[in-house]
Amino acid sequence: MAIHWHWAWGPETTTTLQADYGFAFSILTDMAPTSAVGEVYTYAGSPTRYSMSARSGRTTTLPAAAFPATSQGWVAIPFKNAAAPTLASGPNIIEITGTLTSRDIYVDVGGDLKSLRLYVSNVFKESTLPIDWTDWKYVALRWDMSTTTWSGRLYVDGVAATALYTDTTGTAAETGGAIRLESAAVSTGLDWLNSQILCYDAIGDVGEVRRFVTRFEPGVDGTNIGVWTPSTGADDFAVLDTPLDVATYTENTVPSALDRVEVIPATDLDTALGTTTTVIDSVMVHGYSSGQAITARVLVGDGTASETAGTTEAISVGTTSITEAVANTKPSGGAWVGTDTPEFIYEVVSV
């Protein structure tokens, strides 16, 4: 198994992300993207990065696709409290809730307001050592709800911060659920930061190892099938890149099965990412569309005839539909390398 879903924040507001892209926020105006110095988890050479900042106690529910069909895996997120080394009392900074049981595997703030506490099936298991939250901490929760014996373990900065615990208290095997984050800011400012999200779909994955999730943009049009017309200008890539905005798009007014639009980064991965990469674990494309009642999917290509396809989804009339594809290896085989240039494709499946 492998990386299941990942997200790099961009300049999009919470209003946009909730209305069109599958996120849910408790109070839209109390959360906002930031790219300020010191407020992003970054590396030398990175393109512009963003974090999502939040006031104390505000929650973010991830898109449904973030919860893996395996009902197990990892959630790994870098966190920081910009205001102080301590945290507010009580917030569940990572909470995974099962649909059938409404029970949780979660991490909340310890009584000293610095440590974290691990709960499995709502039962407290262990506290970590105190943590200084004025610097980035890479928090990774290993979790499993796939059998009647649930388990969880917490890692911080790649090191086990608790033992592995199990629990069977009122627990059934889960077939679905939701992932929620809660701000632990100690002040009333937008001080709680998370800078990216990684979800894995197996407890055997190495989800504790620190990784960067970087958004990179299409810069060249590829080869289309069918007639696609940008909402403005002449280039598909220019209306499909960041920021995500349903007001800019390319459209096919008379679609046929297997019509497709393709966009490609203008450079290879090393150049786009601003570094010489040694390991590339995953390439993911997020697709958003609306219009006629058709089915469609997105795909990732690698410059060959091979492509990795996401799940075929029904496209709704008047509502944004979400399609996603994850390519953890090159579709033609082997690991992604820095000289590769992925292709991003949206394809009509049926009309």
Do the Cβ atoms of 268 and 224 come closer than 8 Å?
no
The yes-or-no verdict on residue 336 having pLDDT over 90 is yes
Domains of the chain: 3-200 (2.60.120.560), 220-350 (2.60.120)
- Cα–Cα distances (Å) from 40 to 51, 97, 195, in that order, read 5, 28, 6
Q: What are the tens digits of pLDDT across the range 163-204? A: 999 999 999 999 999 999 999 999 889 999 999 999 999 999
Cα–Cα distances (Å) from 56 to 1, 35, 89, 188, 349, in that order, read 35, 19, 10, 6, 44
What end-to-end distance do the CA atoms of the chain give, in Å?
33
The predicted pLDDT at position 243 comes to 92
pLDDT in tens, 102-151: 999 999 999 999 999 999 999 999 999 999 999 999 999 999 999 999 99
**CB-CB contact of 121 with 190 (8 Å):** no
DSSP string covering 199-267: EES-TTS-TTS----------EE---BS--EESSSS-HHHHHSSSP-TTS-EE-SS--TT-EEEEE-SS
Give per-residue pLDDT as tens, 301-315: 999 999 999 999 999
Exposed/middle/buried for 134, CB within 10 Å: 0-12, 13-18, 19+? middle
pTM of structure:
0.96
Does residue 59 carry a pLDDT above 80?
Answer: yes
Q: Using the predicted structure, report yes or no on whether residue 282 has a pLDDT greater than 90.
A: yes
The residue whose two tokens read 């679609």 is 255
Q: Mean pLDDT of all residues in the chain?
A: 97
Beta bridge partners of 156: 139, 159
> What number is the average pLDDT over the span 319-328?
95
pLDDT over 80 (residue 157): yes
* Per-residue burial over 335-350, b = 16 or more CB atoms within 10 Å of its CB, e = otherwise: ebeeebbbbbbbbbbe
Mean pLDDT of 86-100: 97
For 153, the token pair is: 């373990």
Percent pLDDT > 90 in the chain is 97
Give the pLDDT mean for 287-301. Answer: 95
Confidence at residue 318, expressed as pLDDT on a 0 to 100 scale? 85
Mean pLDDT throughout 221-249?
A: 96
pLDDT of residue 297: 98
Residue 131 is encoded by which pair of tokens?
């943590």
pLDDT-derived band of residue 1, with 50, 70 and 90 as boundaries? low
For residue 65, the SS3 value is: helix
Q: What is the pLDDT of residue 279?
A: 96
CA distances from 330 to 20, 159, 186, 197, 283 (A): 29, 30, 43, 22, 9
pLDDT of residue 238: 97
Distance CA 155, CA 55 (A): 25
